[in-house]
Amino acid sequence: MGAEPVNVNEFEELARQALPKMFYDHYSSGAEDQHTLKENVKAFQKIMIRPRILVDVSRIDLSTTVLGYKISAPIMIAPTARHKLAHPQGEVATARAAASCNTIMILSYMSSCTIEEVASSCNAVRFFQIYMYKRRDITAKLVQRAERCGYKAIVLTVDTPRLGRREADIKNKMIAPQLKNFEGLISTEFSSDDGSNVEAFVRNTFDASLSWKDIGWLRSITKLPVLIKGVVTHEDALKAIEVGVDGIVVSNHGGRQLDYAPATISVLEEVVDAVKGKVPVLFDGGIRRGTDIFKALALGAQAVLIGRPAVYGLAAKGEDGVKRVIEMLKNELENTMAFSGCPTLKDISRNHVRTQHGILHSML
């Protein structure tokens, strides 16, 4: 592709050209038949926007706050692993791009760069994502390091009692490098009969007995707000509120865990209705256009997370690529707001979208 990319989808093609097949497949693929992976994107096409006319949109304000921290637009960087597979500067480049766009990056526990390296790379608000390990002391040490380095929240991913069957990684015999965050704590060099050492690491270290009571333990070891990522039903949203989480991320792990789980945009409103505004609800999965962001906001999300688009931007053009992906989405969202008669994010309402079934009804 000779021409410069004009949308996020074109960055994916540039990333495919730039990366070794094993690494591109690792980032782009999903579980099993990849039905959920594809539906995360396709489900947005079933939602139509209801534009409003003759509204003064000469000034559009995209800014919002998440947990009290102001960001320039409701677009955050989702936690994704091993950015050095995409670019030599890894998560440091991603963090600098997020900072220059005045938004929040959620650093993955599986980052190629350490918690400390990313914290010292630039001055910005950052959250830290973790899993719960069989050895609770490892979880505690990572949380304490993040807190010491000025991260502002902990995001616990809760949809991974085991790793989804990612057949591209198995076919490619995906061998991920040692993770620097775990040096001196635990080895991440596990071998596996099926060819993917990522699955072997998860099987040997993640705690499949994790339950709701463990949220209380996590909250007891940190002063930071705790969000949980991986909620897709109103039942689990109600339980999350009950155990005292500070925020919810509606996510199916980018279609990389349970195949044939619902597309996240199709369950967002169900979760929002259950939460009833008690905590912020963030949205993750399938965002490729500003219109997607508008639809998620209309269905109740406070902000959206982008994972693959940021990695594709990083692979194609480094720090500048990540910045351009964010700016593209911001510009498209601004256009959508203008056409829809919404000068601010607060003006975006449920009345601005229509699903294929008309008005969605709460399951509560």
Q: What does the pLDDT read at residue 181? A: 80
Q: Could you give the CA distance from residue 150 to residue 211 in angstroms, rounded to a whole number?
A: 28
pLDDT confidence of 361, banded at 50, 70, 90? very low
Strands 75-77 and 303-306: parallel
Catalytic residue (choose from 26, 253, 352, 361): 253
> Tens digits of per-residue pLDDT, 42-71?
999 999 999 999 999 999 999 999 999 999
Q: Report residue 297: phi and psi, to 5°.
A: -65, -40
Q: Where are the domains of the chain?
A: 8-362
Whole-number Å distance between alpha carbons of 116 and 121? 9
Which residues sit in the known binding site for glyoxylate? Answer: 131, 166, 253, 256
Q: Residues 112, 85: contact at Cβ < 8 Å?
A: yes
CB 45 within 8 Å of CB 281:
no
Digit-coded pLDDT (tens) for 107-166: 999 999 999 999 999 999 999 999 988 888 999 999 999 999 999 999 999 998 787 788
Residue 77 — very low, low, confident or very high, per pLDDT cuts 50/70/90?
very high
* 253 belongs to the catalytic site: yes
Tell me yes or no: is domain 8-362 CATH 3.20.20.70.
yes
Q: Which residue has the tokens 């009692």?
A: 161
Does position 234 have pLDDT exceeding 90, yes or no?
yes
What are the binding residues?
79-81, 108, 129, 131, 157, 166, 229, 251, 253, 256, 284-288, 307-308
Whole-angstrom CA distances from 156 to 22, 140, 212, 227, 229 are 27, 12, 12, 6, 6
- Render 301-324 in DSSP notation, one character per residue: -SEEEESHHHHHHHHHHHHHHHHH
Asked whether the predicted pLDDT for residue 364 surpasses 50, the reply is no
Separation between Cα atoms, residue 42 and residue 176, nearest integer Å: 30
Residue 284 has pLDDT above 90, yes or no: yes
Q: Which residues pair with 43 in a beta bridge?
A: none
Helix/strand/coil percent split, the chain, to 5: 45, 15, 40
